[in-house]
Structure 1
Amino acid sequence: MRILQICTQFGVGGIARHVIDLSHWLRDAGHTVHFAGEPGALLDAGKDDQFHALPLAGVSALGGSVPARMRNLLSCVPRLRRLLRAHPVDVIHCHESAPALVTSLAAIGTGIPVVVTYHGSEPERIRSFGRISRLGADVVVTPSHLCAGQLHEIGGIPADRLRVVGLGVKPAPETDAEEVAALRRDLLGTDGGLLVLSLSRASYQKGLDILIEVAKEVAKQRDDVCFVVAGDGPLLEEIRAAARANGVDGYLSFIGATHRPYLYLRAADIYLLTSRWEALPISIVEAFRAGVPVIATDTGGVSELVDADVGAVVPVGDVAACASEILRLAGDPALRAEMSAAALERSREDRFTPDFIHRKFEQLYRDLAAKRTD
């Protein structure tokens, strides 16, 4: 098969990593895969000769005013149509609403089946995502059963057009124990302590302002807990300034982007996610792969991943509950060890295995391609 994968942008983030991993698997299985979207740190034409630049960020919320985004939309549609003529495909898979909107217009009259994946959004955007998806998608995929229900009930997407397919996450790479120990010393100091890690982009979605408040609450009772946030993003400097203004910069570090998340995960004692919305966070599965207990906000499919065996789920924005769970785990090394073992065991389930998940996507593409009518 010939497949086109379209993302808004290929910067550092879980969506782009998922798309790239899936596409490499498909290529290994003998399929042809093209990419389209904004180039970024993970992928561009220099890294892959089947990458095609398409300025989709200007169509998304990043594009500014509605008139500006409409102009960008009208510019992207003919570019995508030219791409489809130059590189015919059997299936188009869009990730997020901006690629879906452009594709719904560019693919008119082509007969090419379109898959759209919902990776999560603000609750108020579910209805608009549903409208876009109903317009141009043959199938809407989401990794979370809860999100599938919301897309049906709020977004108006017919149940027979929805599919729940998880996110395959590659096994954790080997890391050098001495390097992990050195990283812990660097982050915690020679006196040691407890390391709470968050792999989070500096954006409103990830709730790092909430994390700052959590760090303040924990520091009232323990001065040996160090919070580390790894990730880049548009609000990074603003968040750093907020940490300084709240007096937590002594035990809350923002290290920026890292291309070695497992090094930090293996150095961590607890993984923390304070997101306001998610679908099914890849970073939680990565924490499981590293055997790290998880404390996360109850959004999207988080409760489909995390329970009392591997950590805790807290209400979105509930600073006191989040701080309480961190302190509970911080004070009970035996419990953390039990959760660590349970997290490792959970990471081996089929629903997180790339081969298992990617075969589901391959079969979905085959089914759609077989029904294609030009």
Structure 2
Amino acid sequence: MKVLHLISGGDTGGAKTHVISLIKELNKLIDAKVICFIEDIFYYDALEAGIDIEVFKQKKRTDISVVKRLEEEIIRKDYDIIHCHGARANFIAMFLKNKIKKPMITTIHSDYKLDFKDNFYKRIVYTTLNSIALKKFDYYIAISDTFKDMMESRGFEGDKIFTVYNGIDLESEIEYVSKEEFLKRYNISGEGKLIVGIIARLDAVKDHETFIKGAYKVLQQRKDVIFLIAGTGSEEKRLKSLVKEMRIEDYIHFLGYVKDPYSFFNAIDINVLTSISESFPYVILEGARLKKTIISTNVGGINKLIKDGYNGWLIDVGDSNALAEKIIFFMENKEMIKTMGENLFKSVKENFSSKNMAEEHYKIYKQILESRR
């Protein structure tokens, strides 16, 4: 079986981790290749992972000259299935669909109506184009049951939607620097302090404001804690102003883009996610590899993994009071940080490995091809 995966190539978050983890495992079962349209960190990380990847460079996002090249590649290599990831790949696939007679599938990594929430132009243009492109696909893979329900509620046919939860490679070696070296990089003193961290792009959908408000409430009671925010985005200026207004700049540190996320996870004690919308985020799985427990909003499929008081805590969207309460609970019960982190690693190992994820994809590909015959 031969499957071609298409992705933007500008990806740095969960989609990047997903595709690289998936293709590494899929190549043990089938012949899988990736084509991307931007030569960036995704491309270099995929090469380093030993993945068969090629760049079909676009001049700009709307450049569809790559469609002809893709058509020739698909016919020449006789791919059985074309599998897309993200808005740019979906847009290109919309034009490719009429030129090839192959089943086409796309993975729904996020709520596509929120992908460009922070940019008016992109929200109007790219969200509209992606919504149109999505209707052209034969099949869909949703990252959670919640996303499958979302797709059905928007008029997509349920029998064309499969659900596969994200999985992570637990066998490859993790590279990271020591906690001391990581903090020194940013001139942060963490001695005698509990370290609470969030790593996510600084966009409204990630709701860092709740993280900051929760931190403020913790700091009214305890000062032996610091908060790290890793990521960049359109909300950065507003969030920094908010921290300044609250006069907690000495306790909240903006790190910018962190190129080695496992060094970040190694440095923190508690991982936090305050998103308004998620599918099944990799930041929880990546933190779990280093046995870091999580406090997360109860969105998407996260409750399939997190069990309150066992391997982490779930809070409602926007509930900064609950976030503060859970952080203070950990500060007063520090032995639970380690115990719940170990439990999270165990839960991920048993149910959310990249091996399981690849096997589920293989079954779906087989089912699609058999139904076509």
In structure 1, stretches of 5+ residues that fail to align are 59-71
Once structures 1 and 2 are overlaid, which stretch shifts more, 243-252 or 90-99?
243-252
Match of 2:228 in 1: 228
Which of 76, 82, 93 is residue 103 of structure 1 equivalent to?
93
Structure 1 position 162 matched with structure 2 position 161: yes
Q: TM-score, normalised by structure 2?
A: 0.83
Contact 1:169 1:354 in 2 (8 A): yes
For residues 15-34 of structure 1, what are the structure 2 equivalents within 5 Å?
15-29=15-29, 31-34=31-34
Distance (Å, rounded) in 2 between the aligned partners of 1:119 and 1:112? 22
Q: How big is the alpha-carbon RMSD for the aligned residues of Structure 1 and Structure 2?
A: 3.2
Contact 1:173 1:262 in 2 (8 A): no
**Letter of the 1:52 counterpart:** V
Contact 2:144 2:165 in 1 (8 A): yes
Distance (Å, rounded) in 2 between the aligned partners of 1:46 and 1:94? 16
Once structures 1 and 2 are overlaid, which stretch shifts more, 75-84 or 98-107?
75-84
Residue 38 of structure 1 aligns to a residue in which SS? Answer: coil
Contact 1:130 1:157 in 2 (8 A): no
Match of 2:105 in 1: 115
Match of 2:205 in 1: 205
Match of 1:3 in 2: 3
Distance (Å, rounded) in 1 between the aligned partners of 2:357 and 2:176? 31
Once structures 1 and 2 are overlaid, which stretch shifts more, 335-344 or 143-152?
335-344
Once structures 1 and 2 are overlaid, which stretch shifts more, 308-317 or 250-259?
250-259
**Letter of the 1:275 counterpart:** S
Sequence identity percentage: 22
Q: Residue 247 and residue 43 in structure 1: after superposition, are their counterparts in 2 closer, same or farther (change >3 A)?
A: farther
Report the alpha carbon displacement of residue 11 of structure 1 after superposing the two structures with TM: 3.2
Q: Residue 172 and residue 241 in structure 1: after superposition, are their counterparts in 2 closer, same or farther (change >3 A)?
A: farther
For residues 75-224 of structure 1, what are the structure 2 equivalents within 5 Å?
77-78=67-68, 80-81=70-71, 84=74, 88-121=78-111, 132-135=133-136, 137-153=137-153, 155-171=154-170, 179-183=178-182, 189=189, 191-224=191-224
Distance (Å, rounded) in 1 between the aligned partners of 2:298 and 2:60? 28
Distance (Å, rounded) in 2 between the aligned partners of 1:177 and 1:367? 40
| Residues 203-222 of structure 1 deviation map (CA, whole Å, 9 limit, x = unaligned) | 22222233222222222221
Give the number of equivalent residue pairs.
357
Contact 1:197 1:270 in 2 (8 A): yes
Distance (Å, rounded) in 2 between the aligned partners of 1:369 and 1:176? 39
Match of 2:362 in 1: 362
Report the alpha carbon displacement of residue 364 of structure 1 after superposing the two structures with TM: 2.2
Report the alpha carbon displacement of residue 310 of structure 1 after superposing the two structures with TM: 1.4
Match of 1:274 in 2: 274
Report the alpha carbon displacement of residue 282 of structure 1 after superposing the two structures with TM: 0.8
Q: Residue 260 and residue 50 in structure 1: after superposition, are their counterparts in 2 closer, same or farther (change >3 A)?
A: closer
| Residues 184-243 of structure 1 deviation map (CA, whole Å, 9 limit, x = unaligned) | 677762642101111212222222233222222222221121111223445445544543
| Residues 302-357 of structure 1 deviation map (CA, whole Å, 9 limit, x = unaligned) | 2222221112111112222222221222221133233122112212113x111121
Distance (Å, rounded) in 1 between the aligned partners of 2:46 and 2:307? 42
Contact 2:176 2:260 in 1 (8 A): no
Distance (Å, rounded) in 1 between the aligned partners of 2:157 and 2:174? 45
Report the alpha carbon displacement of residue 257 of structure 1 after superposing the two structures with TM: 2.5
In structure 2, stretches of 5+ residues that fail to align are 116-126
Distance (Å, rounded) in 1 between the aligned partners of 2:7 and 2:362? 18
Distance (Å, rounded) in 2 between the aligned partners of 1:241 and 1:73? 38
Distance (Å, rounded) in 2 between the aligned partners of 1:26 and 1:122? 26
